[in-house]
Structure 1
Amino acid sequence: MAQRKRFNQLPPRSRALIIVGATVQIVLQGIALRDLKNRPVDQVNGPKKAWAAASFINYFGPIAYLAVGRKKK
């Protein structure tokens, strides 16, 4: 069985990819949560609490909210 590596033992490229991926996830979630907070209830497809919870599902949740959770103005 392969020994698990710590983050600082990974090659620089792998560390950079992990950091970029985490940053993208955090930015997407921030955009989704901010939009959800500021959008009136009648402009959201479904319950706001459900979309807020879904935004914590990696990548899929925020993208799903931004794609189908908002009603068109």
Structure 2
Amino acid sequence: MAQKKHWNDLSVVSRWRIAILGITQLAIQFVALRDLAKRPADGVRGSKSAWAAASFINFIGPVAYLVFGRIPNKK
């Protein structure tokens, strides 16, 4: 069985990729949670608490909320 690599065993490029993906994940989740907090309940498809919990699923949750969970504002 192969040993797990530690942070110091990774190349500089791999470290940067992990850091960029982590920052991207946090940014998307922040946008989704902020939108969810400011949007009224009738502007969300489904439960706001369920979408908030789903936003903690890496990339899939926040993107799903931003694409499918919001009801567009009618002006």
Category of TM-score, reference length = shorter chain: over 0.9
RMSD: 0.7
2:40 is aligned to 40
TM-score by length of 2: 0.93
Q: Equivalent residues in 2 for 1:1-73 (5 A)?
A: 1-73=1-73
Percent sequence identity over aligned pairs? 52
The alignment covers a number of residue pairs equal to: 73
The residue identity in structure 2 corresponding to 1:27 is: A
TM-score by length of 1: 0.95
Structure 1 segments unaligned to the other structure (5+ residues): none
Partner Cα distance (1:60, 1:5) in 2: 26
Partner Cα distance (1:7, 1:46) in 2: 40
Structure 2 segments unaligned to the other structure (5+ residues): none
Runs ≥4 in structure 1, deviation > 3 angstroms?
none
Partner Cα distance (1:56, 1:23) in 2: 14
Partner Cα distance (1:47, 1:3) in 2: 42
Partner Cα distance (2:3, 2:40) in 1: 50
